[in-house]
Amino acid sequence: MSRKYFIAGNWKMNKTPEEGAKLASEIASIVSKDASVDVVICPTFTALDRVSQAIEGSAVKLGAQNLYPKTSGAYTGEISPEMLREVFAKFVILGHSERREYFGESDAFVNEKVKFSLENLINPILCIGETLEQREADETLEVVKTQLLGGLVGVEASQMGSVVVAYEPVWAIGTGKTATPKMAQEVHGSIRALLNEKYGDAVGEKVRILYGGSMKPANAEELLSQKDIDGGLIGGAALDSNSFCDLVAAAKRAP
């Protein structure tokens, strides 16, 4: 089944609003109105408004790096879906390994966020993946299964068209290490099988599964040629317009 490739840039805690607007403008000028690949950039909260303006009129879409599963209230330091929608954010990264590790986010809390984002018309990018210790203990597939199914509790088949899954082997993030295409496909294939089992092939085969472990222009084509790798959640390479757009170009060339 043909799935539209998806390249998302996670800027993490990088780029001021001014720097972010400049980078976004560069990306938007290269991508222009070409929507053959879904392109999403996820800046810091303070840069969202400037970046939103910078990409207006292009095919580039805006995403956020987090949200809180409440409409408003006494949640110091948090941000609601309504606030994200007002700056035209269409996507949100949820369950990123850094949120799980540094902020103690559990599968249950990530699940709350996934459901709330869907209820509020923001498309979640659900991140799952194993640590180096878990991989060396041969626990990869079990960890991925627990995080995937835990994150999708209560999510209906009819909502899955709005969900993107990102597999991020934690040991490959920011380390320069990368899973071989064969290793990555093995996990992506198991994720696809779990989705098919839970929702049926008609739904599971349509869900995009991104690779989030140090995808770069040098390894993108081989990764994207794998059967169940539908794009990338990009970290370091997303902070440079040329390298990021090289990944978009690789996705356009992919079979």
Residues belonging to the active site: 96, 168
Between CA 37 and CA 48 the distance in angstroms is 22
- Cα 242–21–19 angle (5° rounding)? 80
SS (HEC) of 87-112: CCEEEEEECCHHHHHHHCCCHHHHHH
The pair of structure tokens assigned to 42 is: 């996820």
Side-chain-facing half-sphere of 51: CA atoms under 13 Å: 27
Between CA 91 and CA 163 the distance in angstroms is 9
CB 59 within 8 A of CB 251: no
Q: Give the 3-state secondary structure of residue 62.
A: strand
Between CA 206 and CA 197 the distance in angstroms is 13
CB 61 within 8 A of CB 51: no
Segments of the chain assigned E as strands: 6-10, 38-42, 61-64, 89-94, 123-128, 164-167, 209-211, 231-234
**Shortest CA distance to 144 belongs to which of 111, 169, 178?**
169
